[in-house]
Each structure stands twice: as structure tokens, then as C-alpha cells.
């Protein structure tokens, strides 16, 4: 056997060290080219002589000196890839020349700070944003206050209106509060909120120039159709979520708590590399399953003859799934549970079949509602199929993506949309029907990809049919 030379061994050592360092963090986040292309797509939609302004999300306080884990504004992340707070980006329709630089976009970000980074982790800073995110022109946020940009020359300044959830961190001189304050001053934004402006001309010009509606519509039209890069991440998030449902079906036992069931799902998410949950986990046993957004998950013992509704979604590299399964806590559906479950399943199957390009996005909801109303009438739960009731109080379909309720126009299905299908029936204790139905809550939710052929159920790995669920619940689980 030929021996490696010292030079070859040194090369292998250096290569393996660099490779290991590169793989200390996930490598499958969206690439900078994706975000750059999204900015180009937005720029193409902007009106002439306009600028779009997008701010990062605020840091939100949990209590005292503890903040929630930071989560970037989805539009800001979509356009930039930047995951830190205290930033804003300008996207211009036409090239701009300011000072000695000509450009069509500029970003302001957190400044590198050795002391802050020791506590909270590395910041990209200007050079990092240029190298890793592909921005040619970038500045520290502290430079925005004195940045010479003449907003009066634009016909339209597009941004989303401000919420009142931004705190002023007095230790930061260029936090989001300061960036917004400087922006408002530069565009005279506060003037349009006055009932009696002292300068009518400036008031009218500012009101005509500032637009807080159009950008939201433009971003909606971009985000509702997913790219192949986005679909890869959504499919991963959905797959992890379906595995969580699978594992929970095998792990379920009547003495389990709702919190424990939640923990099984969320452990699976972490095990398979998902950073977060896409939304607060909903795990409701018995009557708790009739509360649509029940997030306390505090029932200590889920009981022996209940259904448990589990609506959870993993967030993977920023993209979230939304998958719901309802299963019997003792592994076997009762007669009444089975009748309600099968009705929801029938409604879901019929609705999914309508997920076709060009069809109205309202159609699946109408189909499901008709099936459920007819079924409830046959079971004697409502008087007839036209009876008004609150047993199915929500719609069936919403987009998913960077948000669990991703923006969408909700007109017609288009290829590469990812939309949920989630009919449900909820009969809380005390309902105006036979007591045998009380406490039954069923929702079945899947994430559906619109294709040029048949709709694709991305979460089909988690069983939905009664016989498949009961069979899986007999298997030995990992928890």
C-alpha cells in the first residue's frame, strides 16, 4: 500500500478541519441568490419612481430582562436573508446615485460590537451582509440618521404601517425604534396623522407620496407562489411534522398528559433539525379539542375514552408546516367518535380533490361544508342541512410558508401554491344535541401542493384513515 506523503496528510487535515467548521451550522438555508432574485421580482412590480422600505421585526420582551427568541419579519427575511433585528432595507425601482455610489438597493444593519456579541452571538455587520448576503451597498444602522436621501423626489414611498410594539432600548442608539423614528422624520410621516396640520401643502404632498397598502399586496403576490427552493424546505418541515404525528400515535396512552404529548412532537422536531415550532402547539384531549386555538395543553391526564386533537407544525429553515391529526387516547375509536371522524375525513377527501389549477379557492370549503352539514343532519345533531350551527366555525384552506398563515390573494389555485385542507367538527359539552356527542372534537389537516396534475398531499405520511391509525397505535413506539 502506498503511504501518504507528509504534504498529502497535511492537506487532508486542513481540508477536514475546514469542512468540519463549515458544517457546524446548517448548510441548507436559502442562498443569497434566492433573496436577490426576490428583490428583483419585487422591483419589477414597483411603480415608476418609487422605493419600497421594509423593516426588520422588533425584539419582543417576554418578562423583565428576558426577551423572546428573535424571529425575523417574514417579508424582511424573504427579501434579504438577514436574521438579526434592528435593520431596514430600501429597494428602489430605478438606480439611485447618492454621494459617489450608484445602486438600486441599500441595507442598514446592526453594527459589529464585541461586547454585545459576547452575550448574544456574532453579528454579520456590514462586511458580513456584503459577503454572505450579496448586498453591494450596506451601512451600519447608526449611519441612517444622517444618511442624505431625498424622499421628496419619489412619487411613491411604499411601506407597511407601523404597529405600536416597538420598544426603545435606551442602551442602543440605532435600534429599530431609532430607525423608524428617523425614517418618519425623513418622510414627514407623522404629519399625515395630524387632524389639523399647520402646513397644508406638505401635508397633502406627504399623504399622496406615502403608501402603506401597496407593498403588502405586492409581497402577497410574490409569496403565495413558492419557488423550488422554498418547496424543498416546506416539504422538509411537513415531513418532520408528519413523523411527529406518527411517533405520537405509537406513544399514546391514556395516562399521558397533554404537555407530554406536545413534548413528543417537539422532541421529534428538534431530532430532525427543525429550529422552532411554526406556531404555538395545540394539543387538546376531550372537550379541550373543541377549543380551536387551545394552547394551554395543561390537562394532566388525557383520559381513557377521549379523542386528542394535535395541531402542530415544525419550522424548518424559516418555513413552517401545519398538520393536524385526531386520534383516540386508548387506541380505539368509539362508535360516536368514528361517525364524526369519518364525516370529517369524507369532507377533507372531497375538498382535496378540488385543489386544481384555475379552480376557486373557496370551492373546497363549500364542498366540505355541504358534506358536514348533510352528515350532521343525518346524525340528528342539527335539524337539517340548512340549520345554522357552530360545529364547523372555520374555513378549510390557508397558505403556508414563512408564516403558518402565509399571505395570499385567495382567488384561484395556481401551480406551486401550498395550501392546507382542514375541515373539522367540534361538539363541546353542553351543546344542543344528544349528550353522547359531547366533548368530541375532530380536525384533520394536511398540507397540499398544487401541481399541474393531481394535488399532492405532502403530509400523507401521517395516517388519516381510522383503520390505519388504530393499527399504528398498536405498535411499540420510541417514547
Strand, helix or coil for residue 458: coil
Strand, helix or coil for residue 362: coil
What are the residues whose beta carbons fall under 8 Å from the beta carbon of 142, sequence distance 6 or more? Answer: 111, 173, 174
- pTM of structure: 0.93
What are the residues whose beta carbons fall under 8 Å from the beta carbon of 272, sequence distance 6 or more? Answer: 240, 243, 314
Query: Residue 66 and residue 72: Cα distance in Å, rounded?
Result: 18
Please give the radius of gyration of the chain, using alpha carbons only, rounded to the nearest integer. Answer: 26
Strand, helix or coil for residue 341: helix
At 192 the pLDDT is 64
Query: Residue 141 and residue 56: Cα distance in Å, rounded?
Result: 12
Burial of 63 (0-12, 13-18, 19+ CB in 10 A): exposed
Strand, helix or coil for residue 11: helix
At 194 the pLDDT is 57
Taking alpha carbons only, the member of 91, 117, 115 closest to residue 104 is: 91
Q: Note down pLDDT in tens along the chain; length 479 residues.
A: 444 454 554 444 444 544 444 567 899 999 999 999 999 999 999 999 999 999 999 999 999 999 999 999 999 999 999 999 999 999 999 999 988 899 999 999 999 999 999 999 999 999 999 999 999 999 999 999 999 999 999 999 999 999 888 999 988 889 999 999 999 999 988 766 655 566 677 778 888 899 999 999 999 999 999 999 999 999 999 999 999 999 999 999 999 999 999 999 999 999 999 999 999 999 999 999 999 999 999 999 999 999 999 999 999 999 999 999 999 999 999 999 999 999 999 999 999 999 999 999 999 999 999 999 999 999 999 999 999 999 999 999 999 999 999 999 999 999 999 999 999 999 999 999 999 999 999 999 999 999 999 999 999 999 999 999 999 999 998 88
Q: How far is CA 311 from CA 138, 228, 234, 265, 299, in A?
A: 41, 26, 17, 10, 16
C-alpha cell, 131: 459577503
CB contact at 8 A, 274 and 314: yes
Q: Which domains does the chain have, with CATH numbers?
A: 11-221 (3.40.350.10), 225-472 (3.90.230.10)
At 23 the pLDDT is 60
At 275 the pLDDT is 95
At 198 the pLDDT is 63
Taking alpha carbons only, the member of 462, 382, 400, 293 closest to residue 473 is: 462
Amino acid at each position: 500500500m502506498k503511504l501518504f506523503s507528509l504534504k498529502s496528510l497535511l492537506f487532508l487535515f486542513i481540508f477536514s478541519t475546514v469542512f468540519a467548521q463549515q458544517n457546524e451550522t446548517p448548510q441548507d438555508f436559502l442562498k443569497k441568490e434566492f433573496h436577490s432574485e426576490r428583490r428583483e421580482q419585487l422591483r419589477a412590480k414597483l411603480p415608476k419612481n418609487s422605493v419600497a422600505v421594509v423593516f426588520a421585526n422588533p425584539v419582543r420582551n417576554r418578562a423583565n430582562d428576558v426577551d423572546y427568541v428573535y424571529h425575523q419579519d417574514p417579508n424582511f427575511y424573504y427579501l434579504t436573508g438577514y436574521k438579526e433585528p434592528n435593520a431596514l432595507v430600501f429597494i428602489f425601482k430605478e438606480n439611485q446615485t447618492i454621494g459617489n455610489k450608484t445602486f438600486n438597493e441599500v441595507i442598514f444593519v446592526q453594527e459589529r460590537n464585541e461586547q454585545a456579541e459576547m452575550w448574544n452571538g456574532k453579528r454579520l455587520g456590514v462586511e458580513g451582509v456584503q459577503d454572505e448576503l450579496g448586498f453591494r451597498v450596506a451601512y451600519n444602522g447608526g449611519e441612517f440618521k444622517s444618511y442624505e436621501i431625498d424622499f421628496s423626489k419619489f412619487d411613491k414611498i411604499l411601506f407597511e404601517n407601523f404597529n405600536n410594539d416597538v420598544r426603545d432600548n435606551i442602551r442602543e442608539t440605532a435600534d429599530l425604534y431609532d430607525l423608524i423614528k428617523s425614517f418618519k422624520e425623513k418622510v414627514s410621516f407623522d404629519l399625515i396623522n395630524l387632524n389639523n396640520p399647520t402646513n397644508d401643502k406638505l401635508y397633502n404632498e406627504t399623504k399622496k407620496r406615502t403608501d402603506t397598502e401597496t407593498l403588502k399586496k405586492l409581497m402577497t403576490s410574490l409569496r403565495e407562489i413558492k419557488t423550488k427552493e422554498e418547496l424543498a424546505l416546506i416539504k422538509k418541515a411537513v415531513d418532520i411534522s408528519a413523523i411527529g404525528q406518527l411517533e405520537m400515535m405509537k406513544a399514546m396512552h391514556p395516562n399521558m398528559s397533554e404537555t407530554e404529548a406536545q413534548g413528543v412532537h417537539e422532541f421529534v422536531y428538534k431530532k430532525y433539525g427543525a429550529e422552532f415550532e411554526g406556531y404555538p402547539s395545540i394539543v387538546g384531549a376531550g372537550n379541550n379539542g373543541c377549543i380551536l386555538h387551545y394552547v394551554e395543553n395543561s390537562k394532566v391526564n388525557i383520559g381513557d375514552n377521549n379523542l386528542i386533537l394535535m395541531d402542530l407544525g415544525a419550522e424548518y429553515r424559516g418555513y413552517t408546516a401545519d398538520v393536524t391529526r385526531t386520534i383516540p387516547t386508548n387506541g380505539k375509536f368509539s362508535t360516536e367518535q368514528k361517525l364524526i371522524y369519518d364525516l370529517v375525513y369524507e369532507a377533507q377527501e372531497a375538498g382535496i380533490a378540488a385543489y386544481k389549477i384555475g379552480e376557486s379557492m373557496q370551492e373546497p370549503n363549500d364542498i366540505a361544508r355541504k358534506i358536514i352539514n348533510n352528515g350532521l343532519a343525518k346524525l340528528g345533531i342539527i335539524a337539517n342541512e340548512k340549520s345554522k350551527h357552530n360545529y364547523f366555525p372555520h374555513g378549510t384552506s390557508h397558505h403556508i410558508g414563512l408564516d403558518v398563515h402565509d399571505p395570499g390573494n385567495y382567488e384561484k389555485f395556481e401551480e406551486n401554491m401550498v395550501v392546507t385542507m382542514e375541515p373539522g367538527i367540534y361538539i363541546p359539552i353542553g351543546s344542543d344535541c344528544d349528550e353522547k356527542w359531547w366533548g368530541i372534537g375532530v380536525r384533520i389537516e394536511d398540507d397540499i401542493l398544487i401541481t399541474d396534475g393531481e394535488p399532492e398531499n405532502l403530509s400523507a405520511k401521517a395516517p388519516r384513515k381510522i383503520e390505519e391509525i388504530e393499527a399504528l397505535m398498536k405498535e411499540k413506539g420510541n417514547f
